[in-house]
Structure 1
Amino acid sequence: MATASVAFKSREDHGKRIELDEARKAGLAPAEVDEDGNEINPHIPQFMSSAPWYLNAERPTLKHQRKWKTDPDYTKSWYDRGAKTFQADKYRKGACENCGAMTHDKKACVERPRKLRAKWTSKNIAPDEKIETMELDYDGKRDRWNGFDASSYKHVIRRYEAREEARNNYLKEQELKKFENDDSLKVDEAKVDESKQMDFAKVKKRVRTTGGGSTGTVRNLRIREDTAKYLLNLDANSAHYDPKTRSMREDPLPDMDPNEKFYGGDNQNRVSGQALDFKQLNIHAWEAFEKGHDIHMQAAPSQAELLYKSFKINKEKSKSQTKDIAMEKYGNAVTDEEVLPRELLLSQSEKEVEYDRAGRIIKGQETALPTSKYEEDVHVNNHTSVWGSWWKDHRWGYKCCQQRVRNSYCTGAAGIEAAEAASDLMKGY
């Protein structure tokens, strides 16, 4: 069927037209406008949106899909629903006995039946309805919303908005009270809450068309300000990056300082945390299956995990039994002999100390240096220096008297003179 768009188009123009249609369907480009200025839904097929050739339409339109041939006898009427005219002060003859209106009788009255009707009390007389005589067509007779005033629904919207606002205020007050009473919820101001960083990767689509598009958001895989992992090291021989799975298992910067490194490869996560436990669980399932146990990690994961837990418990029990047997046979040197001070045991401690980059202590107390088990600065046999404070001719001695015999009595200056005389005598020989 020939259409209005019969002009010749090149391959480039045809490709651009297809790209524009795809962008309109995705909501990234504004919708096309017809002759009357109305937007055309981009999801409508071309055979419906293209007008026939005999209409001489210069641009796509949906006018041919409507009743574009006007009927002179066609009338569209709109009446005032619920409109009132005159309201009397007392009951009138021939009016409704229930409410007192002249436009209907007791049988057609829609008000609640009164205990004392208006005919006998002449009070609270209802106003007369506005009666209109009009010729409605087929659609007009069956129009449920003919005469409906949309502004009459505003009070319902206001009521729901007020209730929602009061509910939000109440929830905020409860959260503030809970935060003030619970000290465990207090966090450091320097730390950023992770929940506040969840909106970092939202990209909103600004174009909203008749076709709908996506009014939500698109979540990316990383923060846009961060450098992509494949740009950390542009060397061709560096870590391999798989663009299909967006993975880089090796470390792209292996020579970089670990304290300043932000990304160390995907294998860093594969060998830490729960991933390592899951790997050990798989290895245990394979080894147990090779030894004849009916166990399969994918078919019965709960059974495999339970057996692995029982295996670890039995392994710990066997280790403790082996340790007890060895201690019973050879004894325990720690309990039998004198216990050394805690600071002398391999110079280790369980005290946690946190340092900054400059080496200053941020948290904890600095570990004390281990002391010697020998007494310090103790002088025996009238010496004023310790043994080993003097060295000459590959022999140790006391500095105060220059004697080379350990535990000898100090002779003071006389010993120094005797040592010098002995050395001069040895030189003469």
Structure 2
Amino acid sequence: MEKAKRASGAVVNALPTGGANDVSLEEPKAPMREDWRKKKELEEQRKLGNAPAEVDEEGKDINPHIPQYISSVPWYIDPSKRPTLKHQRPQPEKQKQYNCSGDWYKRGVPEHAVGMRYHKGACENCGAVTHKKKHCKERPRKVGAKYTGMNIAPDEHVQPQLMFDYDGKRDRWNGYNPEEHLKIVKEYSKVDLAKWTLKAQKLQEELASGKLEQVNSPRHQWGEEESNLQTEKDCNSEDEDKYADDIDMPGQNFDSKRHITVRNLRIREDIAKYLRNLDPNSAYYDPKTRAMRENPYASTGKNPDEVGYAGDNFVRYTGDSISMAQTQFLAWEAYDKGSEVHLQADPTKLELLYKSFKAKKEDFKAQQKESILEKYGGQEYLDPPPALLS
């Protein structure tokens, strides 16, 4: 008994007595079912927009619809910074440093000042500092510049090693000198000046030959202006004749190289359908198919025959379109009954069949009318009344 008491006392004395540096022996509690349910309900409310979104450490809202395998933080992230999506964003230490769009390779570099003496580490053959002897492109000298100190070659310009991003590689105007465009402007200005000089010489020749009369009286000022305008038009017409092949017809675009004609959707002189009637309750305009099936002037009380446009359906049911639709309907009925007729394959046969069908239909109606009158009578009621004598 005494040995047991001594052993139990030793165990009690070995246990920590609760100091400031003592380690807690309590294990972390497992999440309860109620906490799990509340967490799921909060997630559903955030997805529906009834609860505010979760905010990360940088103050940005976290989208509640992000899948868990994306929003879950890896084990190597500091747990005190949760929740966060920083692990999904580009890491600054892994980003490449690119040159700005203004940096470019130097073009047209002038030669540098020629050195007066040989520098240590320069090319032994020509004396340039920018390369070594094995990379020298000059003719090998009998006695190199290292020993003579004469005819030192100028240093080359070493182009920088530039690194551009996606947009920088595809910037077609990067490194372009705008002053180069002035050469084109000056060239075209010289051409225009020469053209006007030739026109002026031609006008002076016509005045000298007597084709044009120069009159300074007020009576002939208007006539002089008209003649000058006509002369200018004639001069311009010579230039326009050169480019007559490039002029497009209204509503068409002809490519002479590929020999095709592209028809535009509408001629620009026409009024757009949606501008016919600006009332929002008028005919509906479908912007995708550019169709307006109803009459835009229906609410105005105008006759469809009087307006320039009465809808796509009005145009569809005018002319021979109705008779063609009836012919097609007859071909379908005849095919169902065993007759092989087709509108596109044999239109002549179908047209003759349609005419005979109409004639037989009229005869059948007339015979049916006569049989009804013979059986029941009443012909006198169908005759028009006699005209009243005044």
Q: TM-score, length-normalised on structure 1?
A: 0.29
Q: TM-score, length-normalised on structure 2?
A: 0.31
The structure, 1 or 2, with the larger RCO (C-alpha pairs under 8 Å, 6+ apart) is 1
